[in-house]
Amino acid sequence: SKLKKTIIWRTCVMSVDQELDIPWTFYKSCKSNDIGAIRSVRFNSDGTYCVTGGSDKVVRLWNPVKALLLKSYMGHGQEVLDVASSHDNSQLASGSKDHMVMIWDVMTGHSIRRFREHYGV
């Protein structure tokens, strides 16, 4: 944005037996001047951390309550379009305009696996 600020919203996830007290909770804004446009924001499976991917080709893990960057994952050749977390929060997945999906180890920050676009049938 023009304010050079990323605002992260946490939406309430409801099942039939839950009541909705507050429809949106504002966690914090993660301020940075050098990360470019954010293309995707996802919370991990228990909602304690969030993952972003954006135009600067980097996947980032955040503590949204403290607006603290925990780790950066680099390896894509073009902007990151989507990110996701595994059910046990040990791995991240990211998809990029470079036609590659990468699986990351959350703790080490290393790429575990790369899936490249294929051109055959």
Q: Which residue has the higher pLDDT, 76 or 65?
A: 76
Q: Over the chain, what is the mean pLDDT?
A: 77
Could you tell me the pLDDT band of residue 85, with boundaries at 50, 70 and 90?
A: very high
Q: How many CB atoms lie within 10 A of CB 2?
A: 4
The answer to the question of residue 3 being in a domain is no
Of residues 93, 61, 62, 99, the one with CA closest to residue 79: 99
Please write the tens of the pLDDT for every residue from 14-73: 444 444 332 233 334 444 546 778 888 898 888 888 899 999 999 999 887 777 789 999
Domain count, the chain: 1
Record the pTM.
0.73
- The answer to the question of residue 10 being in a domain is no
What residue numbers bound the domain in which 53 lies?
38-115
CB atoms within 10 A of CB 13: 8
